[in-house]
Amino acid sequence: MNKRNIHSFVMRFLEAYECTILEKTPTFVTVKLSPEADKELTGRPYYWSFVERTGAPAETMTYKFVFDPQQMKAETKPKAAAPAAVKSPSAPGTLPEQGQAAGAGPFPQPPEAGSDSILGRYFGFVPTNLNTRVPQDDMTFGSRRLDQIFNVVREKGRFVHLFEEPFPMGATYHASLIYDTWFCVNYKVELACDRKRSEIHSLAIGLNSGEIREHFHKNLLTKSLSPKLPANSHLLPDKISLPKALNALEMTLERKISAYDHAWADEANEQHRSEIDRVEAYYNGLLLGAEPDQRADIEIQCRNRLQEIDWQHKPRIVVSVINCGLFHLNAARVPRN
């Protein structure tokens, strides 16, 4: 992912979680997290447990997410400071001048008495006039905070339930809209040996008709989807259960993979056999000249090395589910002329 992709992804995440944007530039964004985003990103379970028990209004954290750390450093590079004026020392025992602030100097100012924080209301006096530092995180590919957001999206987006909105927007219909239900599964297929090739297959089946379509996710990108069922519409009854639909999609994917040219697997098997012969010949030579008390260690090393070769060179096909969802798409629309 480049900087533009990361910027777009993070802003979509913040918008989906209804966070408040305080400052936004091409280099960074300062945002006040919503309660949902704060629970996911800040790791404060005890605080949120306290808020839920007491019913107190939540005070969420503010973060600065930096999309271009190098540009940020250039923009915030400190300038040369002007020389400070030299003050004459005060005589011992003298009081500060009338114009000098009471809290100036090395002594901290007393906190305001009107503190209205959660801790102040429930545990007494808490200073709140101190300048708090806004946490700053780099949003670059591989950074801890971006990986955390990826994990949140991956966990929360494993299953979706969406409805297609009427198009064009604002159109009126003299008959009810009919929605057909499609069950879509996005599969990741990995052809692995000492090299790896990954593919994504988006398969969907109509729960009313039993029709199976490929590249379903690509078709969804052209549609406007919403989590709410539009007004004046109804759903066709499903004729296929979800377990049967999932089995049909898996069989379709299996037939598709079996039709591949698997010459790569034959070549990997040859390389796998060659590596095994080479390692066995090496350790057999060591065993012939080893002392009896050394044979056990050499055999353990040989088994470990053979397991590594199996993992690295043995051809295999790994299929995993990325996410899935139910999509209700317009099966018939009758616009009013």
Task: Give 168 or 136, the one with higher predicted confidence.
Answer: 136
Tokens 């994917």 belong to residue: 253
pLDDT digits (tens, 9 = 90+) for 302-323: 999 999 999 999 999 999 999 9
pLDDT digits (tens, 9 = 90+) for 26-58: 889 999 999 999 999 988 999 999 999 988 888
Q: What's the confidence (pLDDT) of residue 101?
A: 42
Q: What's the confidence (pLDDT) of residue 118?
A: 56
CA 196 to chain centre: 23
Q: What's the confidence (pLDDT) of residue 264?
A: 92
Alpha helices in the chain (DSSP H): 3-16, 35-41, 45-54, 69-75, 118-123, 144-156, 216-220, 242-258, 263-288, 295-313
pLDDT above 90: percentage of residues in the chain = 45
Q: How confident is the model at residue 103 (pLDDT cuts 50, 70, 90)?
A: very low
Q: What angle do CA 143, 149, 151 make, to 5 degrees?
A: 100
- Where is average pLDDT lowest: 129-138, 177-186, 214-223? 129-138
Task: Give 324 or 112, the one with higher predicted confidence.
Answer: 324
pTM value? 0.65
Q: How confident is the model at residue 123 (pLDDT cuts 50, 70, 90)?
A: low
Q: What's the confidence (pLDDT) of residue 226?
A: 87
pLDDT digits (tens, 9 = 90+) for 269-299: 999 999 999 999 998 988 888 888 888 998 9
Q: How confident is the model at residue 83 (pLDDT cuts 50, 70, 90)?
A: low
Rounded distance, CA 72 to CA 66, Å? 7
Mean pLDDT of the chain: 82
Q: How confident is the model at residue 138 (pLDDT cuts 50, 70, 90)?
A: confident
Q: What's the confidence (pLDDT) of residue 95?
A: 46
Q: What's the confidence (pLDDT) of residue 246?
A: 95
- Where is average pLDDT lowest: 103-112, 227-236, 316-325? 103-112
- Where is average pLDDT lowest: 31-40, 107-116, 253-262? 107-116
Closest C-alpha among 47, 198, 195 to residue 117:
47
Q: What's the confidence (pLDDT) of residue 192?
A: 92
Q: How confident is the model at residue 127 (pLDDT cuts 50, 70, 90)?
A: low
Query: Quick one: tokens of 310?
Result: 């199996």
